[in-house]
């Protein structure tokens, strides 16, 4: 499989190229520079692999939640490449990408992923590791809640005894979030940002499950003000 993935939903700008099980990534923390850096990142990955967009099987993008402008950039670039090369698109949750990051490091935990949404709120969702596949590969994140945007004090945490917090929401509202978990919180990473490498891995699973969509159906998810609403899942 050949899949190109990108994410600009937060301060990070990243791109990844998955070829079978090998993956290469570009990642930079560059607030307000996504539009300038993203296309060179994508072009560089394709050039190094000797590929053109038409040779890909699909393109994936971080569909949010996150920065309104950043999510729009990712969706527009993914749609543009998909239209030009006649490719299907795989929109992937940025919160699920964070959860996958956490599970790769802490496979036995449940994950509470939170992104700072400004205005006193966070984007959040809770995940558990799915069962490993028949090869014994690490379980991927399975959503326990819908994605939501609320104040940190208003989140609802599912039952569980081993939680790991990840994302910038923990950096801004650690004290308020910790109050929901008490002794069940095993650790946090408040600096983690969504990465295209995790978008790519989740998208590959979605592609195999037949969840790719046409370019015009690949829409961003904002959550705030109910601009868009998606059910739990990737």
Q: 132 pLDDT exceeds 70?
A: no
Domains and CATH numbers, the chain: 2-93+194-226 (3.30.420.40), 95-189 (3.30.420.40)
Higher pLDDT, 90 or 230: 90
Give yes or no for a contact between 146 and 111, defined as CB atoms under 8 angstroms apart: no
Q: What is the pLDDT of residues 16-35, one digit of tens each?
A: 999 999 999 999 999 889 99
Q: Where are the alpha helices (DSSP H) in the chain?
A: 34-49, 68-85, 94-105, 168-181, 196-208
Question: The tokens 């994410």 sit on which residue?
Answer: 7
- Token pair in block for residue 120: 């006193």
234 band by pLDDT with thresholds 50, 70 and 90: low
- Establish how many alpha carbons lie within 13 A of residue 182's alpha carbon, considering only the half-sphere containing its beta carbon: 4
- Give the number of other CB atoms < 10 A from CB of residue 182: 9
Contacts of 32 (CB under 8 A, 6+ apart): none
Q: Could you tell me whether strands 110-116 and 89-92 are parallel, antiparallel, or unpaired per DSSP bridges?
A: unpaired
138 band by pLDDT with thresholds 50, 70 and 90: low
């Amino acid at each position: 499989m050949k899949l190109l993935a990108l994410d600009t939903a937060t301060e990070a700008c990243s791109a990844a190229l998955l070829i079978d099980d090998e993956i290469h990534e570009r990642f930079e923390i560059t607030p307000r520079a996504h539009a300038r850096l993203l296309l060179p990142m994508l072009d560089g990955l394709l050039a190094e692999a000797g590929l053109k967009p038409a040779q890909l099987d699909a393109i994936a993008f971080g569909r949010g939640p996150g920065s309104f402008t950043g999510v729009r950039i990712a969706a527009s670039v993914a749609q543009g490449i998909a239209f030009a090369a006649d490719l299907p698109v795989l929109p992937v949750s940025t919160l699920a990408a964070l959860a996958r990051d956490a599970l790769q490091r802490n496979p036995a935990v449940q994950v509470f992923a939170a992104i700072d949404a400004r205005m006193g709120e966070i984007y959040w969702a809770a995940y558990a590791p799915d069962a490993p596949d028949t090869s014994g590969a690490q379980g991927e994140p399975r959503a326990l809640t819908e994605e939501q945007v609320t104040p940190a004090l208003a989140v609802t945490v599912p039952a569980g005894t081993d939680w790991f917090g990840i994302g910038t929401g923990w950096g801004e509202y650690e004290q308020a979030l910790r109050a929901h978990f008490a002794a069940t919180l095993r650790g946090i990473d408040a600096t983690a940002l969504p990465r295209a490498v995790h978008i790519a891995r989740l998208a590959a699973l979605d592609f195999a499950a037949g969840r790719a969509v046409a370019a015009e159906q690949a829409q961003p998810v904002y959550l705030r003000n109910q601009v868009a609403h998606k059910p739990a899942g990737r």
